[in-house]
Amino acid sequence: MATTTTIPTTKTIRDRLKTYGQKGETYSDILTRLMDAVDRDEFMDRMYQRLEEKDQFVSLDDL
């Protein structure tokens, strides 16, 4: 099992983080889900940028 740690934050941030959670989720669950979403979005942004640089990307709006 992973070692648990404490991350200092304000009550305002803690309460805001709670709003992202679903019933039964831990703070670790919430943070993992949010970080995974950001990682996925950043990856997709990088891939679209690479395609545009190679002139192989065609926007659906251009079709």
What's the average pLDDT block by block, 10 residues per block, for the chain (63 residues)? 89 96 94 89 85 73 76
pLDDT at 8: 95
Confidence (pLDDT) at 31: 93
1-37 in b/e form (b: 16+ CB < 10 A) is: eeeeeeeeeeeeeeeeeeeeeeeeeeeeebeeeeeee
pLDDT at position 22 is 93
The one-letter code for the residue type at 58 is V
Global pTM? 0.60
Instruction: Catalogue the E-assigned strands of the chain.
Output: none
Q: Return the pLDDT at 52.
A: 78
- For the chain, what are the domain ranges? 25-53
* Residue 30 CA: distances (Å) to CA of 7, 22, 48: 14, 8, 27
